[in-house]
């Protein structure tokens, strides 16, 4: 004997009764495991959070925080994210001193740049102020007016930003494509 789903004739309108099986439950994605520090590592786990100041935003005052920052709008004051990356996007216009771990300028900065690890001035970028960082990259086509200090002891802002003092005009030592630079 072959089992049939229904013995009712097809011409009758019959609503099948709900099956006794439980209705299907919605499938939710499993929560992502929290990153755990590597065993034996004394270094804290670095977050990958990033904040963005949009193109239509204007901020007047000091900025500080604990995450990477992308500036596409306008900022006047001070940008103080010494432990994080700061990127001034192509639309960004900053009239402030900028402190960061890695500072990348694609837009305009009218102020001093202090990068603990590296300062990068992209082809579309412009800086009017001094750059203090152990590693400096100026791409062809970028605009820069100021001095470069590649003395690593002052890059994190430990020096007096208002008094460049020993900031020598080391533009010739900056990394330009095709040019070797000496970080001292």
Expressed in percent and rounded to 5, the helix, strand and coil fractions of the chain are: 5, 35, 60
Tens digit of pLDDT for each residue in 67-101?
A: 999 999 999 999 999 999 999 999 999 999 999 99
Residue 41 Cα distances to 35, 37, 52, 151, 183, angstroms = 13, 7, 31, 29, 30
According to the model, what pLDDT value does residue 61 have?
95
Instruction: Determine the longest span between alpha carbons in the chain, in angstroms.
Output: 100
SS3 173: helix
Compute the distance between CA of residue 59 and CA of residue 95 in angstroms, rounded to an integer: 10
According to the model, what pLDDT value does residue 94 have?
98
- For residue 106, the tally of other CB atoms under 10 A from its CB is 22
pLDDT at 2 over 90: no
Q: Confidence class of residue 149 from pLDDT cuts 50, 70 and 90?
A: very high
Beta bridge partners of 148: 131, 169
Higher pLDDT, 161 or 132: 132
Tens digit of pLDDT for each residue in 35-71?
A: 444 444 444 445 568 899 999 999 999 999 999 999 9
According to the model, what pLDDT value does residue 84 have?
97
């Amino acid at each position: 004997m072959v089992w049939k789903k229904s013995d009712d004739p097809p011409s009758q309108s019959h609503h099948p009764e709900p099956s006794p099986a439980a209705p299907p439950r919605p499938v939710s994605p499993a929560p992502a495991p929290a990153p755990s520090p590597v065993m034996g590592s004394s270094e804290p786990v670095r977050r990958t959070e990033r904040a963005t100041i949009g193109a239509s935003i204007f901020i007047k005052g000091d900025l500080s925080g604990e995450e990477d920052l992308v500036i596409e709008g306008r900022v006047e004051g001070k940008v103080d994210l010494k432990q994080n990356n700061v990127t001034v996007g192509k639309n960004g216009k900053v009239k402030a001193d900028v402190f960061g771990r890695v500072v990348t300028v694609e837009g305009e900065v009218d102020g001093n740049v202090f990068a603990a690890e590296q300062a990068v001035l992209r082809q579309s970028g412009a800086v009017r102020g001094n750059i203090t960082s152990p590693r400096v990259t100026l791409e062809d086509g970028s605009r820069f007016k100021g001095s470069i200090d590649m003395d690593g002891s002052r890059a994190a802002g430990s020096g007096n930003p208002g008094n460049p003092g020993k900031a020598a005009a080391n533009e010739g030592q900056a990394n330009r494509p095709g040019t070797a630079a000496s970080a001292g």
